[in-house]
Amino acid sequence: HKSVRGILTNYAYTLPDPSVPGRLSIWFTGGTIEPADEDTESIRAWKKLFRTVQSDENEDQGADEARHTAQNILLGAVSEPMDESGTIGFHLKRPIGGHSSAFVDLIYMDDDIR
């Protein structure tokens, strides 16, 4: 039984932190998740896993609605429809992160580059 592998790409923007020199604050705005393997069997398994095949079963529709509701409440995330390649996009209604919450500190190895 082959496992399903995916690639998660996050989209964000950065700004200099006003309080800490050399720190960039990060705000995450959305991203994509897509299958890592491009063969037909992997794509089919990926689509089945993420329930993209339309189903008449009420349980599947209810589970899908519950997932969307949880995304909206927890993250303000809005899913976009899956494309033919299996890529699912999402965006956040309000970016997550910011000063003192999500950041990266820059370290310069060369005094001339600073």
Whether residue 69 is predicted with pLDDT greater than 80 in this model: the reply is no
* CA 65/CA 58 separation, integer angstroms: 10
Whether residue 37 is predicted with pLDDT greater than 50 in this model: the reply is yes
Task: Give residue-wise pLDDT tens across range 92-103.
Answer: 888 889 888 999
61 φ, ψ (degrees, to nearest 5) = -65, -40
Task: Give residue-wise pLDDT tens across range 3-35.
Answer: 889 999 999 999 999 999 999 999 999 999 999
Predicted pLDDT of residue 27: 95
Confidence of residue 105 (pLDDT cuts 50, 70, 90): very high
Does this model's pTM top 0.95?
no
Nearest to 35 by CA among 66, 80, 3, 74: 3
Predicted pLDDT of residue 114: 62
Mean pLDDT of the chain: 81
